[in-house]
Amino acid sequence: MLPRVVVHNAVSVDGRIDWFTPDVGQFYGLASRWKEDATLAGSDTIYNPEESTTEEEDESLEPPVVEADDTRPLLVVSDSRGRVRNWLQLRRAGYWRDMVALCARKTPQAYLEYLSARHVNFIIVGEERVDFREALEGLHTRYGVELVRVDSGGTLNGILFRAGLVNEVSLLIHPSLVGGTSSRSMYRAPDLITPGGVIDLKLTYCEQLENDIVWLRYEVTE
């Protein structure tokens, strides 16, 4: 069984995710309405070398005390290359009840040992890179996850869209046109060869918010 997957992004009118200034408070305020069981983020979004912790600091890392009635989501980070080392800071942020790294069979053993020593859970799915279908199934089976909110940019969104794993797309359209050829979009994937790969959506919600931002929610129809 697969959990329901929601992609929620702040975008410009042309679907870009950089150069304009998103209203972050509004973004996370609305995101909290899903009450997701797990927040899924990619390593590029989470990786922060400035917050990476030293061995000494990590020695203070105790296993999290998770109360049965804790309703905070899990933080799930895909990181097949074993780059994320700011788990202590992420735990201290207090937004998540616990953390799970998604790794692959090629993930260095030393990184898995690093995670174990810091009481960070991990699931091994996929050979070279993370297999997200298997990962979502694993999150459901092991942690009872029924709803995942994806907090990522176009790369991870693109992988999930192309694998047919997304159920809902929620966009906060900001009143800006970014343009350019290198600015990033909320959906990056290899060029299509036939129109058969276009994902059709059904509009389920539309609201004009403060500051000329429009909130659109769509259901993936296929």
Ligand X SMILES: NC(=O)c1ccc[n+]([C@@H]2O[C@H](COP(=O)([O-])OP(=O)(O)OC[C@H]3O[C@@H](n4cnc5c(N)ncnc54)[C@H](OP(=O)(O)O)[C@@H]3O)[C@@H](O)[C@H]2O)c1
- Residue environment code for 5-34, b if the CB has 16+ CB neighbours within 10 A, otherwise e: bbbbbbbbeebbbeebebbeebbeebbeeb
CB of 28 to ligand X, least distance (A): 10
Give 56 or 217: the residue with its C-beta nearer to ligand X. 217
Nearer residue to ligand X within complex by CB, 59 or 106: 106
- In the bound state with ligand X, the residue whose beta carbon lies nearer, of 23 and 146, is 23
Task: Judge contact between 44 and 159, C-beta under 8 A.
Answer: no
Q: Footprint of ligand X on this chain (CB under 6 A)?
A: 9-10, 17, 22, 41-45, 78-81, 129-130, 151-156, 159
Q: How near is the Cβ of 60 to ligand X at its closest, in Å?
A: 26
For the record, the structure tokens of 195 come out as: 């129109």
Give the residue with the Cβ less far from ligand X, 129 or 140.
129
Half-sphere exposure of 183 (CA within 13 A, CB side): 13
Give least dist CB 34 to ligand X, A.
14
143 phi, psi to nearest 5 deg = -120, 0
Minimum gap (Å) between residue 197 Cβ and ligand X = 16
